[in-house]
Amino acid sequence: MIDFVSRQTLTSRSTAIVHKYRNKKRGWTRMKKVLAILLASSLVLAACSSKSDNGTEGSNGNDTASKETKEVTVWAWDPNFNIAALNLAKEAYAAKNPDVKINIEENAQADIVQKLNTGLNSGTTKGLPNIVLIEDYRAQSFLQAYPDAFYDLSSIIKASDFADYKIGPTSFDGKQYGVPFDSGVTGLYVRTDYLEQAGYKAADLQNIDWNKLIDIGKAIKEKTGKDLLTQDPNDLGLIRMMIQSAGSWYTKEDGTTPNLANNAELKAAAETYKTLMEANIVKVTSDWSQFVGAFNSGDVAAVPTGNWITASVKAEATQSGKWAIVPFPSLPGAAKATHASNLGGSSWYVLNTDGKEAAADFLKQTFASDVDLYQKLNKQIGAIGTLKAAATGDAYQAADDYFNGQKIATDFAAWTEQIPRVNYGMHTYAIEDLLAVEMQNYLGGKALDKALADAESQAETQIK
């Protein structure tokens, strides 16, 4: 093997030999032999160069090495919840798969959205992770805009293993792309001591509607001076919870066409919202710290929101034993009214890139099936998973002393099963921004039908 000779040198030698023997009759035979030797040497050199350039046997050597390494990178936000959950999943997976390296990278949710859009819009996944956490409200905007960018997990997980409402945002065009993760199942957190001062018990709040809750709120305000709940005028999370509890959303079933002007559930929610705001039982807040501060300081008697608020409620140790959690109030007048709804929640997605099989296997063995993992998630970070089998575990059956021995995880798991399935579509936040303005106009005196019609007209123009 003459790997010390360059292709240029071989070419020069060939030229010299041709000139040397060009006019010699006997030289033609000799020249042919030498050229044959040099040609064979060139082929050997090319083969050697192929090996030495890659450092492996053949041009696919790096791919083989990558598969043997099985390195998976995951993006998520929130170190105390999602990142903590990933670390627990990583630990569980490593026990059976020590040859796989799981890299967990924390990014703010806004940064993840921006990076995904930038990369996928440019047609490349370079620099993106193998697995990414996406909020359920945003999932369809990615799946519908970049369907080829995500790995089909239909053969990896069973949709029927998860709460039905989670399958809407995590699937598209008959394929399952997301592994459902946490539930944003809602409940009504109530101060039992304030209720008692107003002549009520937690049992009186089981299966009530919003009109009844408003009446109770007035009694509490009269007896204790405390407001019923908080509300940020720029945040329509409460409206979102109300309409989903009745099986409706801001868009029609296609997830794209705005459904505001003739949405009976949205109209009922808006009317209820106005009644609530005009009852003088709402403490107005403008940010997260004011929201949490209101119930930690004892200024409000109730918190209607997702179960993820549990840790923030329990952060005020002096209130232990003074709280209970009851079902979410139903929407008055709604044809399909229920006592279950959702606020928030996210799911895991695999990008359709090299390493997708290893990434899918990590999810398959952890968030898609590991009941024991979900017990740890509940005990350590308070997560309520949407894997149905998780509810059979010990953690989900445990009594919580902070809530007077109530089995809150058992209740949340049961309510999760009852959440109506809706299509969040691609434009939840864009539509809500427009609706928030019109809701304020409605509170200020604008006719509701006109406010909803104007919001729909603006949405039709802006989301085309």
Q: Percent of the chain, pLDDT > 90? A: 82
Give the span between the Cα atoms of 165 and 167, in whole angstroms.
6
H-state helical runs in 287-351: 288-296, 310-314
Angstrom distances, CA of residue 444 to CA of 114, 250, 277, 410, 439: 35, 22, 11, 42, 8
Residue pair 409/395 in contact (Cβ under 8 Å)? The answer is: yes
pLDDT tens digits, one per residue of 87-104: 999 999 999 999 999 999
Residue 68 confidence (pLDDT): 54
H or E element, residue 135:
strand 131-135
Dihedral, CA of residue 368, residue 370, residue 376 and residue 377, to nearest 10: 0
pLDDT tens digits, one per residue of 174-228: 999 999 999 999 999 999 999 999 999 999 999 999 999 999 999 999 999 999 9
The pTM assigned to this predicted structure is 0.83
Using 50, 70 and 90 to split pLDDT, how confident is the model at 358?
Answer: very high
Q: Is the pLDDT of residue 44 over 70?
A: no
Residue 36 confidence (pLDDT): 40
Residues 6+ apart with CB under 8 A from 361: 97
Q: Is the pLDDT of residue 17 over 70?
A: no
Residue type, 447: A
Using 50, 70 and 90 to split pLDDT, how confident is the model at 29?
Answer: very low
The residue among 416, 1, 393, 354 whose CA lies nearest residue 167 is 416
Residue 50 confidence (pLDDT): 35
The full DSSP string for 334-392 is -TT--S--B---EEEEEBSSTTHHHHHHHHHHTTTT-HHHHHHHHHHH---BSBGGGGG
Q: What mean pLDDT do residues 58-71 have?
A: 47
